Amino acid sequence: MPRLSFLLLSVLLAGGSFRSIAQPITGQQIKEQFIADWVRAKAYTLDYLNTMPADRYSFRAVDSIRSFAGQMLHLASGNVFLIGAATGAKIDWPGRGLENSPTAQNKDSVVWYVTRSYDYAIESIKALDPDKYAEMVGEGNRKAMRYTLLLKAFEHQTHHRGQTTIYIRLQGIRPPNERLF
């Protein structure tokens, strides 16, 4: 027993001599994480788009909500609008009415617009100088830091992709597994 007590005391004392020293996170590290997360989100969303059968893109869980295609087109437009506000990057985009455009509702069009919106987000974040994350952008009561808008853009796409989980389940299909990393 004394030997076990000595061993335990030695481990406790040795553990006290090691310290974790937190290093400050850099803007470049934040940028790299943003890019990695957007690349992952793009692949995850494409899994959703490929899981839903093409002939079910017009499906609505109830009549008063967006169709599956509408949700995904809204996600794409949100990516473009919020990333554009955060980074100042420009893109040729049909505008906010995309989700109601009759010519954009088929699977090929939806996949194209969603993919384009993620590519735009990733390239725009890559081009943004991390030293500008704290800059305020916008007008009036709609001003926010670039960093805040980048977070909101990611939250928005996650929210709308998540909403489509029930659309897929209502088709009797298992949605893609979560991708945290």
Token pair 């709609």 in the structure block, residue: 142
pLDDT tens for 138-168 read: 988 889 999 999 999 999 999 999 999 999 9
Rounded CA separation 147/86 (Å):
7
Task: Provide the mean pLDDT of the chain.
Answer: 91
Domains along the sequence of the chain with CATH: 27-169 (1.20.120.450)
The dihedrals phi and psi of 92, each to the nearest 5 degrees, come to: -85, 110
In this prediction, residue 10 carries a pLDDT of 54
**Prediction pTM value:** 0.86
One DSSP character per residue, 29-80 reads HHHHHHHHHHHHHHHHHHHHHHHS-GGGTT--SSTTS--HHHHHHHHHHHHH
In this prediction, residue 139 carries a pLDDT of 87
For residues 31-50, give the mean pLDDT.
Answer: 98
Structural Rg of the chain based on CA atoms:
22
One DSSP character per residue, 155-170 reads HHHHHHHHHHHHHHHT
pLDDT tens for 88-127 read: 999 999 988 899 999 999 999 999 999 999 999 999 999 9
Token pair 């790299």 in the structure block, residue: 32
Token pair 């100042």 in the structure block, residue: 88
